[in-house]
Amino acid sequence: MTSLFEPVTAGALHLKNRIVMAPLTRNRSPNAVPTPLAITYYAQRATAGLLVTEATAISHQGQGYADVPGLYAPEQLAAWRRVTEAVHAAGGCIVTQLWHVGRVSHTELQLDGAAPVAPSAITAKTKTVLIHDGVPAFVDTSPPRALRLDELPGIVDDYRRAAKAAVDVAGFDGVELHGANGYLLDQFLKTGSNHRTDAYGGSIENRARLLLEATRAVVEAVGGGRVGIRLSPVTPANDIVDVDPQPLLEYVVRALAPMGLAYVHIIEGATGGPREIGDRPFDYAALKQAYRSAGGTGAWMVNNGYDRALADQAVNHGADLVAFGRPYIANPDLVHRLREGLPLATGDKTTWYGGGAKGYTDYPAVEEAAAAAS
């Protein structure tokens, strides 16, 4: 029996347990620069085997929400450096999630009010977050323009540059490409958002091309052992859909197999929603088998709706890592609580996106709560 609390190696990452803090956007980085509160927030959670930061933009064009951080300016990297130093001092391991939102953006967030970019000029029927006078508001995304073929190498370069800076300058232990939840790489993958007729549209091979090029570039920049990738085969998040996700995702993981990645991170079902959706269940065991039989050696990370019992079951059925998202918001000492079977605190949803310390760094660990009560 494998335990959630046993150490595991994921590529070049030596993790003290199998519990991962999933990426959580918190919209508390004005001008895309994390504040000192982020240092406290991540250090408080450093008992996780691995922390994956909130999604972090690789370029200004990759920005899609108010006050989310970036990796493309010196002051952003310097601020992240203080976060990674604090996490390391607390004995933790931390990677950053590399983000290009594609069409899930708003002209207000783009340079010179430009239109967001996408594989095809199809508006996502979804919302983004703008903050005016400190008040967050959900607004419709702006109509995107289709990326020209000659712009794609520049986007791959942005991934490469951001990954290298994240490791070399900001001090991260590695990076996770955000290939999930209806953002740029997922938009290219899936038929609902990709109607291109060039080498990046049409067949599965063509739709997977940008994601694989970006991953290869990042692997070249920092070494495969420091690279993970997040995929969400069937989530409808951000108006994303594919007519036939099983062969698409199996192709993707087979192509990733030779890259020597640290891990593959799979969101099972609808992100933050049901684990099973639609009338044709996705076969996650077949997906993992496709990766392993193609020689993939990265750790297999699962996410979505896990609790202790489901996580125990997953590691006993061969998952190497389990990522917890919402539970990490209000339980900085989640590892301790899971190990001891202690009750979990529930977070305040009104402080998920935007604001300050409230609902961010003020959730106590169990011992702190007990001390305060006595």
Ligand X SMILES: Cc1cc2nc3c(=O)[nH]c(=O)nc-3n(C[C@H](O)[C@H](O)[C@H](O)COP(=O)(O)O)c2cc1C
Q: Which of 144, 86, 133 is nearest to 110 (CA)?
A: 144
Residue 351 phi, psi (nearest 5): -110, 15
Write the DSSP symbol of residue 197.
Answer: -
- 325 is a contact residue toward ligand X (CB under 6 A): yes
Residue 251 is a catalytic residue: no
- The sign of the CA dihedral 7, 8, 11, 15 is negative
- Decide: helix, strand or coil at residue 32: helix
Which residue's CB is nearer to ligand X, number 146 or number 188?
Answer: 188
Write down the least CB distance from residue 329 to ligand X, Å.
7
The residue within the footprint of ligand X, chosen from 80, 172, 251, 324 (CB under 6 A), is: 324
Structure tokens at 8: 């595991």
| Total interface residues for ligand X by CB under 6 A | 23
Catalytically annotated residue among 41, 159, 183, 306:
183
Instruction: Kindly tell me which of 244 and 348 has the beta carbon lying closer to ligand X.
Output: 348
Q: Which is nearer to ligand X, 298 or 325 (CB)?
A: 325
The nearest distance, CB 373 to ligand X, in angstroms, is 27
* Cα 65 from chain centre: 15
List the Cα angle 358/73/140 in 5-degree steps.
60
84 makes contact with ligand X (CB under 6 A): no
Q: Is residue 181 a contact residue for ligand X (CB under 6 A)?
A: yes
**Part in contact with ligand X (CB under 6 A); list of ranges 78-86, 118-126, 132-140, 299-307:** 299-307
Which of 28, 160, 178, 226 binds ligand X (CB under 6 A)? It is: 178
Residues 6+ apart with CB under 8 A from 87: 42, 43, 46, 51, 93, 94
Residues 6 or more apart whose CB falls under 8 angstroms from that of 353 comprise 25, 26, 27, 65, 129, 136
| Residue 300 touching ligand X (CB under 6 A) | no
Residue 22 binds ligand X (CB under 6 A): yes
Pick the piece of the chain touching ligand X (CB under 6 A) from 131-139, 214-222, 283-291, 325-333. 325-333
- Please say whether the dihedral angle defined by the alpha carbons of residues 177, 178, 179 and 183, taken in this order, is positive or negative: negative
263 — phi, psi (to 5°)?
Answer: -160, 160
Tell me if 187 contacts ligand X by CB under 6 A: no
* Residue among 48, 87, 166, 180 that touches ligand X (CB under 6 A): 180
Rounded CA separation 363/345 (Å)? 9
**Whether 72 contacts 160, CB under 8 Å:** no
Among 162, 230, 306, smallest CA distance to 23 is for 230
- Stretch 227-286 residues interacting with ligand X (CB under 6 A): 230, 267, 271-272
**Closer CB to ligand X, 84 or 181, in the complex:** 181
Per rule CB under 6 A, is residue 24 in the interface with ligand X? yes
CB of 347 to ligand X, least distance (A): 9
The interface region with ligand X, picked from 22-30, 33-41, 131-139, 360-368 by CB under 6 A, is 22-30
55 makes contact with ligand X (CB under 6 A): yes
Chain residues binding ligand X by CB under 6 A are 22-25, 54-55, 97, 178, 180-181, 230, 267, 271-272, 303-306, 324-327, 352
Q: Which residues are catalytic?
A: 183
